[in-house]
């Protein structure tokens, strides 16, 4: 439903912030997409200097590991609120700065939460998500689907804009509570929310839900 596109400034703000990476104490990566975009801006070379690295989610941490960077902090729950909870208070107020590259229009939970802890947070757009071009034949083919999986809030809004609520399959599975909240606000009934907020966790949650339904059907 979505594609990753350059920020409106073509990545100029991100390039500037990364060129000044030594001015920050932490850099927070919120997704594998932010990792990809930062490394593209760096020319593919890991030039993070002395900065500490935080990552939301196993997929984000894995994207860093592929580039020989080990995240110093990964919350147990893969949501922004959990990172704010475990993020340390600044030891040196004069150097209490965090670089937060993220998607355009991302939630401000991290920026506000870290600011409340005493950090100076610089938010930089690393990419945008835009609705993909999908042909009508593909949309019509969805009519026979039993379930749909949403992997982000933007996939919810993108799908509804493209296909409409009438073409949402009967069973709705969401990758995590933020995506589920977006779906519910749009008037959808969410059946499955992954406990582990990753694609693998979403698959496991949907399979477990299906098995539970089959057991219930057998008992009836």
Q: Given a cut of 90, is residue 14 above it in pLDDT?
A: yes
Query: Among the three residues 103, 130, 157, which one is the final residue of a domain in this structure?
Result: 130
Average pLDDT over residues 20-26: 92
Retrieve residue 1's tokens: 């439903």
Q: Given a cut of 90, is residue 106 above it in pLDDT?
A: no
Closest CA to 193 of 215, 178, 210: 178
Domain span at 198: 136-215
Q: What is the CATH number of the domain that holds 187?
A: 3.40.50.10090
**Same structural domain, 116 and 151:** no
- Sheet containing strand 147-150, edge to edge, reads 147-150, 171-174, 192-193
State residue 48's pLDDT score.
79
Q: Is residue 220 part of a domain?
A: no
**Same structural domain, 12 and 49:** yes
* Average per-residue pLDDT for the chain: 89
**Same structural domain, 105 and 149:** no
Closest CA to 16 of 99, 119, 129, 107: 99
State residue 45's pLDDT score.
62
Retrieve residue 38's tokens: 């930062």
**Same structural domain, 96 and 155:** no
Coil vs helix vs strand at 100 = strand
Q: Is residue 18 part of a domain?
A: yes
Q: Is residue 117 part of a domain?
A: yes
State residue 84's pLDDT score.
93
pTM of the full structure: 0.79
Give the percent of the chain with pLDDT over 70: 96
Give the confidence band of 47 by pLDDT, cuts at 50, 70, 90: low
Q: Could you report the per-residue pLDDT of 126-174, keeping only the tens digit for each? A: 999 888 877 667 777 788 899 999 999 989 998 898 888 988 999 999 9
Average pLDDT over residues 42-46: 71
Query: Among the three residues 130, 149, 169, which one is the final residue of a domain in this structure?
Result: 130
**Same structural domain, 153 and 90:** no
- How many domains is the chain built from? 2
Q: Could you report the per-residue pLDDT of 188-217, keeping only the tens digit for each? A: 999 999 988 888 989 999 999 999 988 887
**Same structural domain, 27 and 106:** yes
Integer Cα distance of 61 and 59 in angstroms? 5
Average pLDDT over residues 101-114: 91
- Sheet containing strand 52-55, edge to edge, reads 2-5, 120-131, 97-103, 26-29, 52-55
Query: Among the three residues 112, 130, 148, which one is the final residue of a domain in this structure?
Result: 130
């Amino acid at each position: 439903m979505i594609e990753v596109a350059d920020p409106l400034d073509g990545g100029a703000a991100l390039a500037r912030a990364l060129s000044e990476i030594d001015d920050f104490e932490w850099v927070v990566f919120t997704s594998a997409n932010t990792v990809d975009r930062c490394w593209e801006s760096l020319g593919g070379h890991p030039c993070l200097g002395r900065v500490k690295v935080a990552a939301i989610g196993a997929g984000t941490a894995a994207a860093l590991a592929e580039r020989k960077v080990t995240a110093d902090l990964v919350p147990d729950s893969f949501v922004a609120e959990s990172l704010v909870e475990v993020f340390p208070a600044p030891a040196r107020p004069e150097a209490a700065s965090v670089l937060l590259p993220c998607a355009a229009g991302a939630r401000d939970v991290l920026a506000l939460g870290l600011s409340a802890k005493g950090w100076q947070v610089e938010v930089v757009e690393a990419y945008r998500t835009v609705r993909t071009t999908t042909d009508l034949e593909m949309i019509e083919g969805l009519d026979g689907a039993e379930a749909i999986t949403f992997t982000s809030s933007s996939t919810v809004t993108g799908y509804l804009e493209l296909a409409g609520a009438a073409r949402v399959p009967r069973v709705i599975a969401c990758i995590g509570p933020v995506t589920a909240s977006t779906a519910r606000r749009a008037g959808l009934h969410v059946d499955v929310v992954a406990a582990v907020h990753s694609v693998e966790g979403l698959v496991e949650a949907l399979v477990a839900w299906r098995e539970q339904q089959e057991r219930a059907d057998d008992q009836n």
